[in-house]
Amino acid sequence: MRRRRVSALTLLTVGAVLVAACSSAAPDDRPVVEVFGPYRGEDASRFAAAFAPFEEQTGIDIRYVGTGSFSKDIQNRMTDADYPDVALFPQPALIRDFAHRDLLVPLSDDAVGTNMGSDAEVAAGTVGGTVYAVWFRAVVKSLVWYEPEVFRDRGYEIPGSWDDMMFLTEQIEEDGLTPWCLSMESFAATGWVGTDWIEDIVLRQHGPEFYDQWVQGDVTFEDEAIIDAFETFGEIIHQPGRVFGGTHRILNEPWTSAQAPMFNLEPPGCLLYRQASYQEANLPSSVVVGDDIDVFILPGKDGIEPPILASGDLAAAFNDRPEVRAFLEFLATPEAGEGWAAEGGFTSPHPEFDPDAYVTDFDRRLGEILQNAAVVRFDGSDLMVPPVGTGTFWTGMQSYVRTGDARAAAAEIQAGFPEATHFPEVPIPES
């Protein structure tokens, strides 16, 4: 779809109407929009900086509530009929489920569509041809972290293809070092780190069209192509000495500290770590991105430009009031991210986002990676039906790490699909 940019004039006009409607009311009577999402701590503060201009321009009060277990908590709120006005979804599969239960407000204006890169669009917020959500914040996932100084000192080169990366892996081994760090422990979500690996590999080995069919459930996990992706991953995790601490550490070390041996051992405990852009928040405070540590894009096949796996947060509305729609329209604009970008740690999904708004070179580079990629796809597990995407795919990855049996893990994951994996089309509401 082609997105029409929401103008500041439109936003201010909506805001003016709302302010006029309550101009004679006390400040406590201002329109209120409750927003429920996954941001806590510093991220919650940065999100507040993003919507502060909206509050100032419209007189609408945004009241944000954050949780560390969004997927579980939002479903509990639905069970209790305790609907927030707006929710920020890290997993768009829930958007589809709620839309089919007629819980979400359809957004008929194509100004609030989702766009996933310069040459690829995925309707992560669209169900049955109707837009229900806007993509507010993006995460770049297909990154490999490394120490430039170590590479320079040892004469290692950034790999240009998957084969080059595996050659580099062997070269590091021959030099008596451990190539990779990797761990997946994440409480009830343990395994999601492995799903990212499989998704990246499927994209590289079989392309975006096949990837889309797999994510939609048209290709099963027991397909030979998916088995092949698991076994490609196994060439890293099941080869003794290739991952620091081996499979025991993969399953038991928190993912947030997976990279620690790269910094706290001499020589480094590992030289390569595949993780998303949000890994920056887990780095030691003394480590400078772009100097002490840097990233390259996980390579593709045969030197072909690699695709980018992305994720992020999509906003959808449960209540249909003018101030709620105004806030969704605001979140759909490139400008909505500028307040957070000024604080750091933000990547916009918008091609029109002003790169000068990024406060760090790393944030600006991530934006360029996302917008310059020929192929961008949203995280597959976040799009799959929840019993699989946030269920058996996670547990099946744990099984594969333990046993190395790709076929058994694939069967375990596939068993999580409900009998009907495709919902009927959601009709576009009459105007």
Q: What is the CATH number of the domain that holds 210?
A: 3.40.190.10
User: DSSP letter string over 366-385?
Assistant: HHHHHHH-S-EEE-HHHHS-
pLDDT above 70 for 178: yes
Predicted confidence at residue 124, as pLDDT, reads: 76
Query: pLDDT confidence of 420, banded at 50, 70, 90?
Result: low
Predicted confidence at residue 21, as pLDDT, reads: 35
Contacts of 68 (CB under 8 A, 6+ apart): 38, 40
User: Token pair 């990797």 is at which residue?
Assistant: 182
User: Token pair 């081994």 is at which residue?
Assistant: 173
Same structural domain, 30 and 105 = yes
Cα torsion at 203, 205, 209, 214 (round to 10°)?
-70
Same structural domain, 360 and 385 = no
Predicted confidence at residue 130, as pLDDT, reads: 85
Q: Is residue 422 part of a domain?
A: no
Predicted confidence at residue 27, as pLDDT, reads: 58
Predicted confidence at residue 200, as pLDDT, reads: 98
Tell me the sheet residues that pair with 140: 310
Predicted confidence at residue 20, as pLDDT, reads: 34
Q: Are 415 and 424 in contact (CB under 8 A)?
A: no
Nearest to 217, CA basis, from 398, 424, 420, 396: 420
Predicted confidence at residue 266, as pLDDT, reads: 94
Nearest to 229, CA basis, from 274, 198, 193: 198
Q: Are 195 and 397 in contact (CB under 8 A)?
A: yes
Same structural domain, 316 and 302 = no
Candidate from 34-38, 159-163, 274-278, 421-425 with smallest mean pLDDT: 421-425
Same structural domain, 318 and 277 = no
Q: Is residue 429 part of a domain?
A: no
- Mean pLDDT to the nearest integer, 142-162: 97
Q: Which domain holds residue 171?
A: 143-308+379-414
Same structural domain, 333 and 345 = yes
Which structure tokens are listed for 393? 């795919």
Predicted confidence at residue 214, as pLDDT, reads: 96
Query: pLDDT confidence of 393, banded at 50, 70, 90?
Result: very high
Give me the number of domains the chain comprises: 2
- Mean pLDDT to the nearest integer, 225-232: 98
pLDDT above 70 for 352: yes
Q: What is the largest CA-CA distance in the chain?
A: 76
pLDDT above 60 for 323: yes
Residues recorded for the chain: 431
Query: pLDDT confidence of 126, banded at 50, 70, 90?
Result: confident
Q: Is residue 246 part of a domain?
A: yes
pLDDT above 60 for 110: no
Question: Distance (Å, rounded) from C-alpha 27 to C-alpha 20?
Answer: 13
User: Token pair 């390579």 is at which residue?
Assistant: 299
pLDDT above 80 for 117: no
pLDDT above 80 for 152: yes
Tell me the sheet residues that pair with 317: 86
Map residue 141 onto helix, strand or coil.
coil
Q: Is residue 177 part of a domain?
A: yes
Same structural domain, 338 and 359 = yes
- Mean pLDDT to the nearest integer, 83-102: 94
Same structural domain, 20 and 129 = yes
- 393-403 and 224-237 are packed helices; what angle lies between their axes, rounded to 10 degrees? 50
Same structural domain, 153 and 290 = yes
Contacts of 61 (CB under 8 A, 6+ apart): 30, 31, 32, 33, 55
Q: Are 378 and 120 in contact (CB under 8 A)?
A: no
Predicted confidence at residue 24, as pLDDT, reads: 33
Give the residue, 27 or 323, on which the prediction is more confident.
Answer: 323
Same structural domain, 231 and 358 = no
Give the residue, 99 or 3, on which the prediction is more confident.
Answer: 99
pLDDT above 60 for 112: no
Amino acid identity of residue 422, one-letter, is H
Question: Distance (Å, rounded) from C-alpha 320 to C-alpha 298?
Answer: 42
pLDDT above 90 for 248: yes
Q: What is the per-residue burial (b if ≥16 Cβ within 10 Å, else e) of 258-282?
A: bbbbbbeeeebbbbbbbbbbebbee
Question: Distance (Å, rounded) from C-alpha 9 to C-alpha 261?
Answer: 52
Handedness of CA 27, 31, 34, 35 (dihedral sign): negative
Same structural domain, 334 and 195 = no
Count of beta carbons in the 10 Å neighbourhood of residue 302: 11
Half-sphere exposure of 178 (CA within 13 A, CB side): 22
Question: Distance (Å, rounded) from C-alpha 111 to C-alpha 43?
Answer: 26
The DSSP bridge pattern shows strands 130-131 and 126-127 to be antiparallel
Distance of CA 34 to the CA centre of its chain: 23
Average pLDDT score over the chain: 89
Nearest to 12, CA basis, from 329, 406, 357, 380: 329
Give the residue, 176 or 14, on which the prediction is more confident.
Answer: 176
Give the residue, 111 or 253, on which the prediction is more confident.
Answer: 253
pLDDT above 80 for 6: no
Candidate from 107-121, 123-137, 184-198, 234-248 with smallest mean pLDDT: 107-121
Predicted confidence at residue 127, as pLDDT, reads: 84
Q: Is residue 335 part of a domain?
A: yes
Q: Is residue 425 part of a domain?
A: no
Same structural domain, 270 and 398 = yes
Predicted confidence at residue 12, as pLDDT, reads: 39
Query: pLDDT confidence of 400, banded at 50, 70, 90?
Result: very high
Q: Is residue 189 part of a domain?
A: yes
Question: Taking the model in full, what pTM does it have?
Answer: 0.89
Same structural domain, 184 and 80 = no
The DSSP bridge pattern shows strands 308-317 and 86-89 to be antiparallel
Map residue 343 onto helix, strand or coil.
coil
Predicted confidence at residue 210, as pLDDT, reads: 96
Q: Is residue 423 part of a domain?
A: no
Predicted confidence at residue 351, as pLDDT, reads: 87
Burial class (CB in 10 A: 0-12, 13-18, 19+), 22: middle
